[in-house]
């Protein structure tokens, strides 16, 4: 009996080696397992949302170029042929008929026009398009930040699920060894059918838990493959890296940093500038336009040799002054002013939301830190309780099922510590995101 008991204890001892009072033993991962930085780097470089936003920058460049092109001259080549009839003629007695124009008319020429001044309208359009590009650029940064947040959430979900599956495997190994142990004891009459059934029920429960964890793990791997653009069936593993920290900052410092650096506030400032430029451009929409024009070419129809082609030109200045546009521009000005007021309210909404997010993230981080400390203490106590259970088991005071309860408590406490550490790490990144720190 003593030798069987020692054998049973030896089967349980490896479980304790998995844990310590400060951290879990990390799983030895394959060399090709993915780090958080590598995942984020690949996502922000190759995700379609990023490529789409980058292409929008090319569109903005094209709009700026088109706006600048208004300062360049326009040139075109025109040619025409026309047959006219009847034509004006005069009949002079004794001299015959004389025509004032030919029946067949030919012309070809080059026409050039150049805007001399539109009193700032084009320059305001250029400024508007440049500001639109800055807005697009800021939107690109926001897209990268959001994708990084998604990658971080996915990464730590996989870390938890990988480690949780491993803990469940260790529990199953221990339970199966225990089942074999009590089955041998039953054969000698020193164990009951109740002990066997109880162990089998526990095995079934752990197997169900492992199935749920494995299913969630496959779902998270699918999400990761989607982020990385990999085939959906690609097998992925991530490194168990929880060594992240955040320097201590006062709450008012966090809020000030957030209001300065958050993408939402930067976008709000860009939109405010854009709205002001739209109002300025709308105010200048009815400005006069002064332009120069010139045309040179050849045509026929000149007296006295009307069918002979001759060089010709025309040059001059033009002035266009809008007088009445049916009040269209007046209403556009009203719309532009309203857009500024709407943007002011959106900015205030963003400011309040950001402050709430910073306070919430800071509070959650502090709570998560306390949970880590409590989970470490709980694991330490579970190990101590298991050590005491072993001693009582050696003394014959408790049954092997009660000893098994102690090892299960160690496993569950280890799982809780893992979850609390991951929650703490995720909350670090949430606070970084809340204060506008780049995650990529």
**Matching CATH number, 2-72+118-287+322-434, of 3.60.15.10, 1.10.579.10, 1.10.443.10, 1.20.1600.10:** 1.20.1600.10
Residue percentage of the chain with pLDDT more than 70: 91
Across 349-408, where does the E strand assignment appear?
A: none
Taking Cα atoms as reference points, which of 13, 7, 6, 1 lies closest to residue 185?
1
Let me know if the fold of 2-72+118-287+322-434 is the same as that of 74-117+289-321: no
| For the ranges 252-256, 325-329, 363-367, the one whose mean pLDDT is highest | 363-367
CB 82 within 8 A of CB 108: no
Taking Cα atoms as reference points, which of 68, 38, 64, 12 lies closest to residue 409?
12
Residue 6 has a pLDDT of 40
Residue 28 has a pLDDT of 42
Q: Which residue do the tokens 């860009």 mark?
A: 270
A 10 A CB-CB count for 360 gives 14
* Domain boundaries of the chain, sorted by first residue: 2-72+118-287+322-434, 74-117+289-321
Measured on CA atoms in the order 146, 147, 149, 154, is the torsion positive or negative?
positive
Paired residues of 106 in beta bridges? 81
Residue 247 has a pLDDT of 64
Residue 249 pLDDT grade (very low, low, confident, very high; cuts 50, 70, 90): low
What the block records as the tokens of 352 is 């309040």
Residue 1 pLDDT grade (very low, low, confident, very high; cuts 50, 70, 90): very low
Q: What is the pLDDT of residues 147-159, one digit of tens each?
A: 999 999 999 999 9
What the block records as the tokens of 132 is 């639109």
As a whole number of angstroms, the distance between CA 361 and CA 421 comes to 16
Q: What is the pLDDT of residues 54-105, one digit of tens each?
A: 999 999 999 999 999 989 999 999 999 999 888 888 877 777 777 888 888 9
Residue 144 has a pLDDT of 96
- Mean pLDDT of the 380-402 span: 86
Which residues, at least 6 apart from 201, have a Cβ–Cβ distance to it below 8 Å? Answer: none
- Topology of 74-117+289-321 in CATH? Outer membrane efflux proteins (OEP) (2.20.200)
pLDDT at 11 over 60: no
Q: Mean of the per-residue pLDDT values for the chain?
A: 87
Cβ burial of 302 (10 Å; 0-12, 13-18, 19+) is middle
Measured on CA atoms in the order 121, 125, 128, 134, is the torsion positive or negative?
negative
């Amino acid at each position: 009996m003593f030798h069987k008991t020692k054998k049973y204890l030896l089967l349980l001892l490896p479980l304790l080696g998995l844990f310590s009072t400060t951290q879990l033993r990390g799983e030895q991962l394959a060399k090709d397992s993915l780090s958080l930085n590598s995942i984020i780097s690949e996502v922000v470089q190759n995700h379609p949302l990023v490529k789409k936003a980058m292409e929008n920058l090319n569109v903005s460049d094209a709009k700026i170029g088109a706006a600048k092109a208004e300062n360049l001259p326009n040139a075109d080549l025109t040619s025409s042929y026309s047959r006219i009839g009847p034509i004006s003629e005069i009949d002079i007695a004794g001299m015959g008929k004389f025509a004032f124009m030919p029946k067949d008319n030919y012309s070809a020429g080059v026409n050039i026009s150049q805007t001399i001044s539109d009193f700032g309208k084009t320059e305001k359009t250029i400024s508007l398009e440049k500001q639109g590009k800055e807005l697009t650029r800021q939107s690109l940064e926001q897209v990268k930040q959001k994708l990084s947040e998604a990658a971080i959430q996915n990464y730590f979900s996989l870390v938890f699920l990988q480690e949780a599956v491993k803990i469940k495997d260790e529990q199953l190994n221990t339970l199966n060894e225990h089942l074999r142990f009590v089955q041998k004891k039953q054969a000698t009459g020193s164990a009951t059918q109740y002990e066997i059934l109880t162990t089998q029920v526990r095995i079934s429960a752990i197997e169900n838990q492992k199935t749920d964890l494995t299913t969630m793990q496959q779902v998270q791997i699918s999400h990761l493959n989607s982020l990385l653009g990999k085939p959906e069936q690609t097998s992925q593993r991530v490194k168990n890296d929880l060594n992240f920290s955040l320097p201590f900052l006062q709450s008012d410092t966090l809020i000030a940093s957030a209001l300065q650096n958050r993408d939402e506030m930067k976008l709000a400032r860009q939109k405010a500038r854009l709205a002001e430029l739209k109002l300025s451009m709308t105010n200048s929409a009815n400005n006069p336009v002064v332009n120069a024009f010139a045309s040179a070419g050849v045509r026929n129809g000149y007296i006295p040799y009307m069918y002979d082609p001759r060089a010709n030109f025309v040059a001059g200045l033009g002035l266009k002054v809008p007088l009445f546009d049916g009040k269209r521009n007046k209403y556009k000005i009203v719309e532009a002013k309203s857009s500024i007021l709407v943007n002011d309210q959106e900015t205030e909404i963003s400011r309040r939301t950001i402050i709430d997010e910073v306070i919430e993230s800071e509070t959650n981080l502090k709570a998560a830190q306390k949970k880590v400390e409590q989970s470490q203490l709980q694991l330490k106590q579970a190990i101590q309780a298991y050590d005491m259970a072993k001693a009582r088991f050696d003394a014959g005071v408790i049954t092997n099922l009660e000893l098994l309860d102690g090892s299960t408590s160690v496993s569950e406490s280890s799982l809780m510590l893992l979850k609390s550490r991951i929650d703490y790490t995720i909350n670090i990144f949430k606070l970084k995101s809340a204060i506008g720190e780049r995650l990529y």
